[in-house]
Amino acid sequence: MMKRLSILIVVVICSTFIAQAQWDCRSIVGRNMTPLWKKSPLTFGTELTGSFGIMNDRKIVNTLLYVALDYSKNEHQIYIEGGYKGYYNSLGAPTDSQKRDGFLYSIFQENRIGGRELFYKYSGDNTKLKLGFMSLSLPDYMLVNERAFAIKFDQKIAKGSFNFTLGNVLEGPSRTGVFCGTDYLYNVIYGKKEPVAGHNFFESNFASVSYLIDNTIKETKKEPLPEVVETKTDTAVVDEFDEFSGFDDSEFGATEETKKKNWAINKYGIVYYSEFGSYYGKAFGDMRHFYGLLAQVRIPLEIETKFEVLH
């Protein structure tokens, strides 16, 4: 039996626009919160989305409501977000004979209540910890962009950043699951592939460890205080009219020397990733293991390229 090897090379060229996936679980309520009272650490927000459509064989009406509550004080944050979704289709739901294994179909004439976020977050100067049900992505460029029950730990070390993430993904509340997937809001596409995740807790899990060095971070060196020179008439400060004497160019962005460089490795690091649980198989050999290198490189014309090589 041939040894199973998988090598994946992904190159992503960053551009000026952001692509939105059809099935993405989008919400902007977290960026538009209002204090319950003046200077209150407790804020809330709501978001309402609706749609109505007429096709040659059907009429559809849908609505999605998000409600969020946030408590933030000093380095601590507790965030809760959930919602209601109702949808109607004049054709009704597909019959059991039309359903196939491995696919989820839009269930019309139904109301749903679901959760989207429920987490605690600690944000220190160099340490960050996030715990609960959350939308998350890994520091690498392609491995995870999901909603999961997880713990995420980040630690800054000089120019480097260490990350450890451990999570569990469920089919229902996943990013493309029953409540969050936008196909259940618009009902244009009759069916889609089932999310690749377990039905119960701990059936489909993932873990990741990474260390990333950011060369764009400049270590700010404080200049010594100007020398004080005593004179016969008064006390004068050397370079008293030099308004920029106490600042380093790096504090305000890239220096002229950096700008002249057409090629630069802005970031680079290592990553280990694993998927495990009964969803993938009970034997240790059924676990999925990936490890590799990643880098973000600037090339001429100010183009940023991202490379990730996994084995």
Three-class SS of 143-210: CCEEEEEEEEEEEEECCEEEEEEEEECECCCCCCCCCCCCHHHHCCCCEEECCCCECCCCCCEEEEEE
Q: How far apart are CA 311 and CA 60, in angstroms?
A: 46
Rounded to whole angstroms, the Cα distance separating 216 from 253 reads 9
Residue 68 host element (H or E)? strand 59-73
Q: Closest by alpha carbon to 140, among 205, 212, 207, 213?
A: 212
Count helices and strands in the chain by DSSP H and E runs? 2, 17
* Radius of gyration (C-alpha) of the chain in whole angstroms: 26
Residue 292: what pLDDT?
A: 95
Question: Which tens digits make up the pLDDT trace of 89-124?
Answer: 777 655 555 444 444 444 446 677 888 899 999 999
Distance from C-alpha of 199 to C-alpha of 278, rounded to nearest angstrom: 11
How many Å apart are CA 168 and CA 106, to the nearest integer? 25
Sign, CA dihedral 25-28-30-31, equals positive
3-state secondary structure of 106: coil
- Is the full-model pTM beyond 0.95? no
Rounded Cα–Cα distance for residues 189 and 236 (Å): 77
CA dist., res. 162 & res. 159, Å (int): 10
Condensed to tens digits (0 to 9), the pLDDT of residues 176-231 reads 777 776 555 544 455 555 667 888 898 999 999 999 999 988 765 555 655 555 54
Q: What is the pLDDT of residue 219?
A: 63
How many other C-beta atoms lie within 10 A of the C-beta of residue 106? 23
Domain boundaries, the chain: 30-219+264-310, 228-258
Q: Could you say which residues of the chain have pLDDT below 50? A: 1-23, 98-108, 186-188, 231-253
Q: Which amino acid is at 219?
A: E
Which amino acid, one-letter code, is at 298?
R
Convert 78-104 into a string of H (helix), E (strand) and C (coil): EEEEEEEEEEEECCCCCCHHHCCCCEE
Of 78, 83, 196, nearest to 148 by C-alpha is 196
| Nearest 10 degrees: Cα torsion 84, 85, 88, 91 | -140
